[in-house]
Amino acid sequence: MIGTHCDCKPKNTELVQEVKENMPAFDEIMNLSDFFKVMGDSTRLQLLLSLQQSEMCVSDLANVLDMTKSAVSHQLKALRLSKLIKSRKEGKTVYYSLDDEHIETILGMAFDHTKEH
């Protein structure tokens, strides 16, 4: 839970109350925090940026990132469980892609922001 021991009086009581009322539920805040934790790993970001360009299998992703298939699979599992990517099977090969256009938009906006600053 967010801190409960503020030891000061607000300068603008109405504003404080309005912001508190419009704050998302704590569970929603925790879900968003978990989302950013998953996105905050550089390897996972490289995977997402690779998948932003094209649907790919584990072997191809391992070659792009110069990692073992096992290490890539481990990171893909975290991304899949967080619903950032999806998979489809074609024969014995599993192909991964971004889950939806929201992920692509978030990546693009984050990149734009970091380039500006």
Task: Work out the pLDDT band at 60, boundaries 50, 70, 90.
Answer: very high
**What is the per-residue pLDDT for 64?**
98
Chain segment 64-77, per-residue pLDDT in tens: 999 999 999 999 99
Q: What distance in Å separates the CA atoms of residue 56 and residue 53, rounded to the nearest whole number? A: 9
**What is the per-residue pLDDT for 1?**
52
Report the amino acid identity of residue 29.
I
Above 60 in pLDDT, residue 38?
yes
Indicate the pTM of the whole model: 0.83
Report the amino acid identity of residue 52.
Q
At the top level of CATH, which class does the domain 24-114 belong to?
mainly alpha
What is the mean pLDDT of the segment spanning 13-31? Answer: 96
Above 70 in pLDDT, residue 2?
no
